[in-house]
Amino acid sequence: MLGEKYFQLDMSYWGRSRRLVIQILCIWALVAYGLPALVMETNKMNYLGFPLGYYNCAQVIPMFFGALLLIFNHVQEGIEADQMDGKPMVEAASSAALNAVLMKVYVAYTGGFISFVLFLGFLEAVGVPDQAIGILFVIFTLGMYAAIGIASRTSKSDDFYVAGRNVPPIFNGMATAADWMSGASFVGMAGTLYALGYDGLAYITGWTGGYVLVSTVIAPYLRRFGSFTVPEFIASRYQGTVQLPGGKVVEVSGVARFLATIVLLSCSFTYLTAQVYSTGVIVSRFIGIQFEVAVFSGLIGVLFCSLLGGMRAVTYTQVAQYVILIIAYTVPAICMSTTQDDGFNKNNPVEFLVYGGTLQAIALREKEMVLLGLASKVTPYLEPKWRRVDFFALTFCLMVGTASLPHVLMRYFTTPSVRAARRSVTWSLAFILVLYMTAPAYAAFAKLEVYTKVIGQPLSVLPQWVFTYGKIGLTSVCGKAVTSVNEAVEACAQATGGDYLLKLKDLKISKDAMVIATPEIAGLPYTIAGLVSAGGLAASLSTADGLLLAISNALSHDIYFRLIDDKASIQKRLFISRVLLVVIALMAAGTAASKPADILSMVAWAFSLAASGNFPALVLGIWWRRANAQGAIAGIICGWGLTLTYLLGTVYGGWELWGGISNVAAAMFGLPVGFAANIIVSLLTAPPPDNVLAMVDSLRDFKVTGEDLTAEELEDIKEKEEALARTQARQVSNTAGVTAEATAEATAEVTAEASI
């Protein structure tokens, strides 16, 4: 009967997987937007001293996303087990052996780093100058990263581009977390929460929620396809021909590849500039050199890793960098946590359970400052100041941007199987949560320290850190960056420093200074401050590594090799990639030296550009068979073009905000336009060719992956891939007419074998 047919569930692998994804995303959206919508009501309730609405957004929602991914992986692997008739899936033996070796190496490395920190603490205790300790931290970290780059050098293309596709999930998760937790997260996140209070939690919700999209919608399918770069997937998915005026027929996959590369360059270079900027902030503070010089000197460690070993070196370096940055971030927070006594907790080192009392103390101090005349009005730290639509818009753009960033997605090309890619995403979020659940506590502890020990104090007793960071322009008193008490007195136009109590409006602290300054604000030993500098440097350099690699790989592989010289040898392509690495790094350093904006704003721009340019093409390319090359090209041009126009117009052109939506959420305009253009143009033009439809079906089919490939099999795949590239390049240049049968056969063979 018709009713039975209509309501009959599709029990195929793709049908069950699709239903699971839809169910997971419905739950994800309900929690991500439902709990923040109720913040004003739930903030009236307390949990362990926390206002419940604030706690939900700061701790509950990110942890829920992690639990949701665990459930998704478990159910999806059950679906795959059914396809195997209950037989276990066998991962590559080489990956398991590598996992055991890496575990031993990085446990030893972690122990060595902790010993190094304790040694520097001893040096501080015996009177070694603070600046010398800071220099030792910076030299050690840069030297370690350079050493890993030298040890991991390679001349193999699969090692250089995708680390040999054998990185175990847990270590790829650590590398992705380090790649992800950039200067924006390490340096800027706590500072943004310090400045914005509750509204800053949009960044935490958006950036953690985005990994649910990565795991369910995009990453496993890109890994199954087996490409080197995101533009390569888009070019292969969006093949097709267009008849020009005069009857000439041309292949348009090269146009799709070119546009995808432009999107990659725009978002990655913006993101890269932010990392180089944060590197300059840290190095200039702890070595005592000019910011502009610090920016260029910080590139040394980046280039060593990227130049010599490509993705292989970057992966192992990023694992080492994660160890440093997470120790550096959590140790000061734990130290401050153990000093809290709020009636709920006393000497509790678990920082994300302790700061509820700190939040209450901040609220009381805000009222007290108004009563004492230290502030005319204080915006409540725990209450939303933005419109709810602004909070939700930013959250949405960050989520979608996370699932669209090329340097993040390419990390999942390095895993040995599709299942490993999904598990790797879960490990990534788990490692990221360690920092993101600590950031609100970090900001709250720093906020209370400033409110109680700086605001309301005479100018004559201002702490030294105010002047230290004034030297590099990250703090100001009465509108001026001061370096001494006398300068502070002069700035505030007071006769003597003891007669004037510092008011809230008088002190300005850059959001980008908060994390590296907090150990000094809290009066912790200088070794802890140096540790934080090493962590911040690790965060910035790890992301810069990944971004540089994404940019240079796209230019050398997708532009030079695929569209210019399809006969270039592997050695020549790697040489081109390394030259481009240096050029791009120097360009990013030059841009960062001009201090274009605060770190978090630059990063948010990158997310909007990636979301509007990549997300429609990726999602429709995987989930909608009818999407074609013309639609993808129209979607990228319209969506990404509108977002870029809005960004440039509002940041540099003096435009009014459209509907009050901030430019950090610019993808709210470009993303729906990109989807609409892709869908409408696809429906108005011919469907994709049969070989592309077969490729889409192969992405959705279950395959046993993770088995070892012999050297001969890998070489055969590589030869077929290069043959396909030469065929496509000839089609792009040949405007007399085109036949795609040979290309279709080659594409099918490459896709089938590369996904094994």
User: Can you give the pLDDT at residue 400?
Assistant: 96
Mention every residue, 6+ apart, whose C-beta is less than 8 A from residue 399: 32, 206, 207, 209, 210, 212, 213
CA distances from 710 to 207, 227, 714, 715 (A): 39, 18, 6, 9
Alpha helices in 126-156, H assignment, sequence order: 130-151
Measured between its terminal Cα atoms, the distance across the chain in Å is 40
The top-scoring range by mean pLDDT among 89-93, 294-298, 685-689, 732-736 is: 685-689
Give SS3 for 509: strand
User: Can you give the pLDDT at residue 4?
Assistant: 44
Tell me how far apart the alpha carbons of residues 755 and 696 are, in angstroms, rounded to a whole number. 13
Residue 726 has pLDDT above 50, yes or no: yes
Give SS3 for 350: coil
Per-residue pLDDT, averaged over 243-271, amounts to 83
Q: Are strands 241-243 and 50-51 parallel, antiparallel or unpaired?
A: unpaired
CA 179-183-186 angle, 5° bins: 95
Per-residue pLDDT band for 285 (boundaries 50, 70, 90) equals low
Residue 618: name the closest of 227, 269, 77, 180 by CA.
Answer: 227
Per-residue pLDDT, averaged over 165-193, amounts to 84
Domain regions of the chain by residue span: 12-455+513-619, 457-502, 711-755
How many residues can be counted in the chain?
756
User: Can you give the pLDDT at residue 286?
Assistant: 65
Give SS3 for 342: coil
Per-residue pLDDT band for 638 (boundaries 50, 70, 90) equals very high
Per-residue pLDDT, averaged over 630-640, amounts to 96
Q: pLDDT (tens digit, 9 = 90+) per residue, 402-431?
A: 999 888 898 898 888 888 999 999 999 999
Contact 729, 561 (CB under 8 A): no
User: Can you give the pLDDT at residue 414?
Assistant: 86
Does 1.20.1730.10 match the CATH number of domain 12-455+513-619?
A: yes
Residue 674 has pLDDT above 50, yes or no: yes
pLDDT above 90 covers a percentage of the chain that reads 34
Q: pLDDT (tens digit, 9 = 90+) per residue, 570-613?
A: 778 778 877 887 788 788 877 777 666 555 566 778 889 999 99
Q: pLDDT (tens digit, 9 = 90+) per residue, 515-525?
A: 878 888 888 88
Between 446 and 680, the more confident residue is: 680
Per-residue pLDDT band for 90 (boundaries 50, 70, 90) equals low
pLDDT above 70 covers a percentage of the chain that reads 83
Per-residue pLDDT band for 706 (boundaries 50, 70, 90) equals very low
HEC profile for 75-98? Answer: HHHHHHHHHCCCCCCCCCHHHHHH
Q: What is the DSSP letter of 657?
A: P
Residue 724 has pLDDT above 80, yes or no: no
Full-model pTM: 0.84
Tell me how many helices (H) and strands (E) the chain has: 34, 6
Per-residue pLDDT, averaged over 641-656, amounts to 91
Q: pLDDT (tens digit, 9 = 90+) per residue, 426-480?
A: 999 999 999 999 999 989 988 998 999 899 988 888 888 889 888 878 889 998 8
Q: Which long-range contacts (CB under 8 A, 24 or more apart) does 680-687 make?
A: 680/631, 680/634, 681/628, 681/630, 681/631, 681/633, 681/634, 681/635, 682/620, 682/626, 682/627, 682/628, 682/630, 682/631, 682/632, 683/626, 683/631, 685/628, 685/630, 685/631, 686/240, 686/628, 687/626, 687/628
Mention every residue, 6+ apart, whose C-beta is less than 8 A from residue 113: 323, 324, 327
User: Inter-axis angle of helices 201-213 and 388-402, to 10 degrees?
Assistant: 40
Tell me how far apart the alpha carbons of residues 636 and 642 are, in angstroms, rounded to a whole number. 10
Between 185 and 113, the more confident residue is: 113
- Token readout for 649 is 């117009």
Alpha helices in 624-756, H assignment, sequence order: 629-651, 667-684, 690-700, 711-733, 741-754
